[in-house]
Amino acid sequence: MKPVGIQAMSVNCSLGSDFKTIWHNMIFDKGHSLSKDKHFLFNNETYLGNATFNKKHIKDFFNYRVNQLLLNVFSGIETNYRELAKSIDKNRIGIVLGTSTAGVDGFEKALDHYDKNAQWPNEYRIHEQRMGSVSEFLADYLQVYGPCMSISTACSSSTKALLTAKRWLNEETAKLNILGGGESSDAYHISSPDPSAEGAITTMREALNDAALNPEDIDYINLHGTGTPQNDAMESLAVNHVFGEHTACSSTKPFTGHTLGAAGAIEAVLSAIAMTDVNSQGALIPHIYDGCYDQRMPTINLVDDSFENNRNIKERPQKVLSNSFAFGGSNATIILGML
């Protein structure tokens, strides 16, 4: 398939919502974007990545948190969208989004009420949990009538949404492009990845083939990098198998936390920012960890968290690959590049 152009990007995560701030926080303010929290683990301490946004007026049927956050992110590209959409039939404008849980936060609050009162609260609306509700909201907001779908495959949801959009479009190109992608489903286990890494190896090879690239053409790999022993052992094996020991790698989850269905899209945007003028220093996104590499795992080239040591020899990277490996063996890899 041909590359598909990315006309505009927007993101909101714990690193911020404008590209300069996000890049500064990743390169110069390492590890300070997560906050301590005791609420979510029943008074046990953990770290969370929080996204902040101002609420806007939304039609009551769609007015819940996930859609407020969606509208906040969309507002960052709305001007670009309106300009591009002027000459396009609204029946030919499609929407595909990735989500893992849609409005599940409302269900959690309602369930607590049910446990205490043996009845659901009056404000609880079950349609908020439907995965399709986020895409339906955006289609309704924009009054467009083309294909409309949500993809919910846990951590790979939004990467698969981007690759689905590429298949839908597969024509116009821009300066920044989706060059290729790969998907696999190994169904090894309900939550643990296949330790042989066969599915992850398949997605990366398919992405390279789709983009007509060789492993040495990739300047940077954004790892799925959950920090779990199972994922990291599998992914290091896969990356080493396909790329060897030299391609620069890092995970951005130490900056954002694990955003589940949004992870693939957020990490694609963070990887893409590294290719833009915002990265005037030619830096690579550092890998933030305790510095103790598990010698049982195959060697991969984790980006040094020292700014002086992590500059790319080619200045800004020109081609980046991002992995998303979800529960159930739902794997996806996307390659972005400057043309």
What is the rounded average pLDDT for all residues in the chain? 91
Residue with tokens 């993809």: 151
C-beta separation of 195 from 300 below 8 A = no
pLDDT one-digit tens code per residue, 144-161: 999 999 999 999 999 999
Give percent of the chain with pLDDT exceeding 70: 96
pLDDT (0 to 100) of residue 254: 93
CB atoms within 10 A of CB 214: 9
Tell me how many domains the chain contains.
1
Alpha helices by DSSP H, the chain: 19-27, 65-74, 78-85, 104-117, 133-142, 157-169, 198-211, 229-243, 253-256, 263-273
DSSP assignment of 249-298? EE-SHHHH---GGGHHHHHHHHHHHTTSTT-TT-B-----S-S---TTSP
pLDDT (0 to 100) of residue 107: 85
Residues 198 and 237: their CA atoms lie apart, in Å, by 10
Over residues 249-275, the mean pLDDT reads: 95
Whether residue 130 has pLDDT greater than 90? no
Over residues 51-61, the mean pLDDT reads: 93
Give percent of the chain with pLDDT exceeding 90: 75
Whether residue 309 has pLDDT greater than 60? no
Over residues 162-190, the mean pLDDT reads: 87
Over residues 99-119, the mean pLDDT reads: 87
Q: What are phi and psi of 201, to 5 degrees?
A: -60, -40
Q: What is the CATH number of the domain that holds 58?
A: 3.40.47.10
CA dihedral 127, 187, 200, 171 (to 10 degrees): -50
pLDDT (0 to 100) of residue 175: 72
* pTM score of the predicted model: 0.85
Over residues 34-42, the mean pLDDT reads: 87
Whether residue 308 has pLDDT greater than 60? no
- Partner residues linked to 333 by β-bridges: 182, 323
Domain span at 199: 4-338
Over residues 254-261, the mean pLDDT reads: 92
Over residues 35-59, the mean pLDDT reads: 90
